[in-house]
Chain A
Amino acid sequence: MTRQEYMDELCRCLYDVHDQERIDALRYCEEYFDEAGLEHEQQAIEDLGKPAKFAAQLKAEAAIRSAEEAHKDDKRSFYDVGKIFIGILALPIALPLLLAAAMLMLAFYLTVILLIIAGILLALCGVTVFVILFFSAVFMPFTASSFVRIGIGFILLGISVLFGMGMTQALRFVVSWFTAMATKLYYKAKEGKRNEI
């Protein structure tokens, strides 16, 4: 195999790898060949290993990394928010403005969270009313109003479930948004602290 053939095959093997990753890997190998020089070309090919293997190792590494990142995202929740907030509090009080900002943010965050929780409770109330209406219609003597009660009950159920789902989504969104904001603020604060020293 020649250098050109090696590079061509490697390029083929890396077709499904992220662009930047592929460019970097190819560049690295080109550089490796350059350094090895013409007289050591075969040795370089041996060093680099089969193109398929090279590509496979790179992909394996990328897969592990993305799995780890996904895992990290999963854990990013209330726990992290707490940790970040403690971190902000742990900073020297030479940053009163930041502290105030953090407090404001937390207050805002808590307000929004509580509003959303209120919304979810409201949705639960809707479901409860549906249950009551439904059973009152079924177990009480059957009259025309029974149908009305069942109908209203189902309408309530539909609205409640939709509303509750929306609220749950909003909760998740707000939590992750706040975590991102707090993280940013925290690192900014840490950086500021480092610059002071």
Chain B
Amino acid sequence: MNFQLGSALLDACVLAILHKEDTYGYKLTQEVKDMMEVSESTLYPVLRRLTREGYLETYDQEHMGRNRRYYRLSDRGKRKYKEYMEEWRSFKRKIDMVLERGDEDDKTGIHG
């Protein structure tokens, strides 16, 4: 991917995935990896930080004889997710405006 992924965007993606359903580290990574290239060494500190800041909660659940640590959104995390969504929408609108305007100019042949 050409576009740089900032830490806020990564935070937002993690919150979005967890807003859909609780999940555990491995699955979360696979889902994030579907969207963008990210290594676990980046993702784990993010989870850690989000947990520390009270956006995520963890709980353990047994699965086939071993423990899985699940992550879920706290109420605070849900609010944060909504916040990110709003910010993202307005950001996207602005960027779309700039990027698509370039395309229009191309079609109509307005140059210089």
Contacts and interface: CB of A to CB of B under 8 A. Distances in A.
Interface of A: 21, 24-25, 27-29, 31-32, 34-36, 47-50, 53-54, 56-58, 60-61, 65
B68 A57 contact: no
A151 to B, nearest CB: 59
Interface of A is mostly: helix
B50 to A, nearest CB: 11
A32 B30 CA distance: 11
A35 B25 contact: yes
B24 interface: yes
Contacts of A57: 41-42, 44-45
Interface residues of B, number: 19
A35 B29 CA distance: 11
B40 A49 contact: yes
A31 B47 CA distance: 15
B101 to A, nearest CB: 37
B45 A61 contact: yes
Given A31-B67, A47-B33, A50-B41, 13 more contacts: A31-B25, A32-B26, A47-B40, A48-B41, A49-B39, A54-B44, A56-B41, A57-B41, A57-B45, A58-B44, A58-B48, A60-B45, A61-B45
A60 B41 CA distance: 11
A49 B39 CA distance: 6
A193 B60 CA distance: 31
A53 B26 contact: no
B26 A35 contact: yes
Contacts of B48: 21, 24-25, 58, 61
B69 A31 contact: yes
